[in-house]
């Protein structure tokens, strides 16, 4: 049996209820620096992913199942928020979990905010390096554990292995606050069992809820970095074609961590969305930012598909330098 995730409270104030779920190989402490600023004015909790400290997996919880994961998060929300609906804020794998909860427990979900999210463990047939390692008989899981421990063994190694997550290498990803936060994340990962994180990777790889997206009732804000090197932007835009009530923002020159590279813009869009997520009015910018739609690959004709509220809102363009890197194991 999978126990409920421990709660790390970011804010205990009256108002709306928020649940933040981080990406693979990250930690709830990430949100203390990079959650949308609005959530700190409300009642907000951050939950870890299964197998991430402080949520270890017991032998009885293995192998992980979709039903057990949904039940664990649902139990936590029911207990921590007295059963009141919450807005889910999910990054990457946290978005995968958020969509799962919205599909299976609509009674607990007011709205969903996605950042670099996916709904299929293989991204249209692609397989993660970690998943390929874990599928190798005998030596694969051992190699995964070795590489994971090596990656988190030093601050420099860990940060170098995370650099692919950002497109704009000049963004506040190397300032003292970010470096201190990532060291906290590394400390959390050092207290987790690599085998537990491997169990989560196996579950992700074997699951897809693409077919359930059309049944999600909650309004969704989907924020996509057009230069995302972790989750293909084409996959993220496919989610917007399938979810009935979605507003999508494509950040033209941002990577997997849009909340880091475009923090002020994410804050503004998030605040406008949560104030009235049920209406399809575009929360995007005015001025130099053009609408995204017609002729865009995987965006749908004129930026629309499905119901009348399904639309691509804006394409955010900033002048940013390009940088590349190729770590073996990537967060997300």
Residue 232 burial (CB < 10 Å; 0-12/13-18/19+)? middle
Task: Determine if the peptide bond prior to 143 is cis (ω within 30°).
Answer: no
pLDDT value at residue 281: 40
Domain that holds residue 291: 8-316
**Token match 């749908």: residue?**
300
* Residue 332 falls inside a structural domain: no
Residue 317 CA to residue 314 CA, distance in Å, equals: 9
Q: What is the pTM of this model?
A: 0.86
Q: Is the per-residue pLDDT at 325 higher than 50?
A: no
* Residue 175 falls inside a structural domain: yes
192 in helix, strand or coil? coil
What phi and psi, each to the nearest 5 degrees, are found at residue 10?
-90, -30
pLDDT value at residue 310: 41
What phi and psi, each to the nearest 5 degrees, are found at residue 230?
-105, -55
Q: How far is CA 143 from CA 16, 50, 313, in A?
A: 44, 21, 43
What is the DSSP secondary structure assignment for residue 44, as one 8-state letter?
Answer: E
**How many structural domains is the chain composed of?**
1
* Residue 323 falls inside a structural domain: no
**15-19, 164-168, 233-237, 281-285: least confident range:** 281-285
| Structure tokens given for 123 | 């991204």
What is the DSSP secondary structure assignment for residue 46, as one 8-state letter?
Answer: E
CATH number, domain with residue 74: 3.40.50.1820
Q: Is the per-residue pLDDT at 31 higher than 80?
A: yes
**3-7, 70-74, 312-316: least confident range:** 312-316
Residue 312 CA to residue 21 CA, distance in Å, equals: 24
Residue 221 CA to residue 34 CA, distance in Å, equals: 17
Residue 300 CA to residue 124 CA, distance in Å, equals: 17
Residue 80 CA to residue 83 CA, distance in Å, equals: 8
List % helix, strand, coil for the chain (3-state, nearest 5): 40, 15, 45
Pairing of strands 17-21, 43-47: parallel
**Token match 């402080």: residue?**
54
Q: How confident is the model at residue 127 (pLDDT cuts 50, 70, 90)?
A: low
pLDDT value at residue 131: 67
Among 92, 50, 66, CA closest to 193: 50
Across the chain, mean pLDDT equals 84
* Residue 321 falls inside a structural domain: no
* Residue 25 falls inside a structural domain: yes
109 in helix, strand or coil? strand
Q: Is the per-residue pLDDT at 259 higher than 60?
A: yes
Among 255, 239, 215, CA closest to 299: 239
Q: Is the per-residue pLDDT at 83 higher than 60?
A: yes
**How many separate helices (H) and strands (E) can be counted in the chain?**
11, 8
Q: What percent of the chain has pLDDT over 90?
A: 70
* Residue 97 falls inside a structural domain: yes
Q: Which residues contact 70 (CB under 8 A, 6 or more apart)?
A: 100, 101, 104, 105
Q: Name the residue with higher pLDDT: 309 or 132.
A: 132
Among 62, 205, 220, CA closest to 134: 205
Distance of CA 230 to the CA centre of its chain: 11
Q: Render pLDDT for 295-309 as a digit per residue (tens, 0 to 9).
A: 233 333 333 333 333
* Residue 330 falls inside a structural domain: no
Q: Name the residue with higher pLDDT: 214 or 332.
A: 214
Q: How confident is the model at residue 253 (pLDDT cuts 50, 70, 90)?
A: confident
Q: How many CA atoms lie within 13 A of 206 on its CB side?
A: 12
* Residue 322 falls inside a structural domain: no
């Amino acid at each position: 049996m999978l126990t409920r995730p421990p709660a790390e409270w970011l804010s205990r104030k009256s108002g709306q209820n928020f649940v933040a779920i981080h990406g693979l190989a990250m930690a709830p402490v990430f949100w203390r620096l990079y959650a949308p600023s609005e959530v700190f004015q409300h009642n907000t909790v951050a939950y870890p992913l299964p197998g991430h400290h402080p949520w270890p997996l017991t032998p009885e919880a293995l192998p992980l199942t979709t039903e057990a994961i949904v039940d664990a998060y649902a139990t936590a929300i029911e207990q921590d928020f007295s059963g009141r609906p919450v807005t889910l804020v999910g990054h990457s794998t946290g978005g995968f979990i958020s969509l799962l909860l919205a599909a299976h427990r609509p009674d607990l979900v007011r709205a969903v905010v996605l950042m670099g999210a996916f709904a299929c463990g293989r991204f249209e047939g692609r397989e993660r390096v970690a998943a390929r390692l874990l599928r190798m008989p005998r030596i694969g899981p051992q190699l995964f554990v070795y590489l994971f421990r090596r990656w988190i063994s030093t601050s420099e190694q860990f940060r170098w292995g995370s650099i692919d997550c950002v497109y704009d290498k000049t963004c506040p990803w190397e300032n003292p606050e970010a470096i201190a936060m990532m060291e906290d994340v590394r400390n959390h990962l050092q207290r987790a069992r690599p085998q537990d994180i491997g169990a989560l990777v196996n579950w992700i790889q074997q699951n897809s809820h693409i077919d359930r997206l059309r049944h999600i009732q909650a309004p969704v804000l989907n924020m996509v970095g057009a230069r995302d090197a972790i989750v293909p932007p084409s996959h993220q835009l496919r989610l917007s074609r399938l979810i009935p009530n979605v507003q999508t923002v494509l950040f033209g020159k941002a990577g997997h961590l849009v909340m880091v590279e475009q923090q002020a813009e994410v804050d503004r869009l998030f605040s406008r969305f949560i104030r009235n997520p049920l209406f399809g009015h575009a929360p995007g910018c005015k001025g130099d930012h053009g609408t995204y739609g017609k002729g865009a690959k995987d965006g749908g004709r004129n930026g629309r598909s499905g119901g009348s509220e399904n639309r691509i809102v804006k394409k955010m363009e900033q002048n940013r330098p390009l940088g590349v890197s190729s770590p073996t194991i990537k967060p997300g």
